[in-house]
Amino acid sequence: MNSIRLKTSYVDEKLPVGASKLFGAPDIFDGFEWPTIEVDGEEYDLSFIGQINLAEATKFDKDGVLPKTGMLYFFYDLDEMPHDPSDESACRVIYHERDDDLHAISYVDEDGEDMSFREMKVEFECVEAGFLADDSETHLLLGEPSMDNGFWYECIDGWQMLFQLDSMETDDVCINFTDEGFLCFYIDKDKLKVQDFSDVRIMQIYT
């Protein structure tokens, strides 16, 4: 299966509503509920990782795996940074079938301080299956993880990598997954075929 590489950059202007991006705040639809996680009886928001406008991304989906339209939103617990694929609450992926009914929001605390990382523009390119990391950040949709310790495939057979987020360090964000590895979101292949993103799991992949 081919992979779609996400090339990221900072831009001075605010990105259009519905554009693909990493971080910032999601462009949401009516009825959107921010995913949360419960820790010691307290409920906390999961961190917004990014949103993918599928009309942009699927131009590079040679295998026709992803929905052709709509939005994919990725959330993860960046505070605790769990890595166990059996942890069903560690991440959440939301699929919305449209991209023309969205509105921008600000993610701020009770004092009005911005709680989000600076948003990053995303552009896409198609890369061949088995594409390995180079010196730049390697964020991917689909395909296989850039590095594989073999553990995941022993855990759950029949699952597909949906999204890979690389460790990264910029002036605004510093995220280090295990040994400067990758955070990978996985989905059951049969559920992906019917566009059911209700059960997605994570795994940190490292050398």
Residue given tokens 């406008």 in the structure block: 53
Query: What count of other Cβ atoms lies within 10 Å of the Cβ of residue 3?
Result: 25
> Taking phi first (over 0 means left), then psi (-120 to 50 degrees means alpha), and beta for anything else, what does residue 12 get?
alpha
Sorted by where each starts, the structural domains of the chain and their CATH numbers stand as 3-205 (2.30.320.10)
pLDDT in tens, 148-177: 555 555 556 789 999 999 988 888 888 888
pLDDT in tens, 29-84: 999 999 999 888 889 999 999 999 999 999 999 999 999 999 999 999 999 888 88
Looking at residue 30, its pLDDT comes to: 97
DSSP, collapsed to helix, strand or coil, labels residue 110 as coil
Euclidean distance between CA atoms 139 and 131, whole angstroms: 11
Euclidean distance between CA atoms 132 and 187, whole angstroms: 21
CA 203 to each of CA 61, 84, 148, 164: distance values in angstroms, whole numbers, following the listed order: 23, 6, 10, 10
Residues 181-197 have a mean pLDDT of 94
Residue 27's H or E segment, with its range, is: strand 27-28
DSSP, collapsed to helix, strand or coil, labels residue 3 as strand
CB 23 within 8 A of CB 173: yes
Whether this prediction's pTM lies above 0.85 is answered by yes
Euclidean distance between CA atoms 121 and 131, whole angstroms: 22
For residue 92, what are the contacts with CB-CB under 8 A and spacing of at least 6? 35, 46, 74, 75, 76, 200
Looking at residue 73, its pLDDT comes to: 98
Alpha helices for the chain (secondary structure H): 54-57, 151-155, 189-193
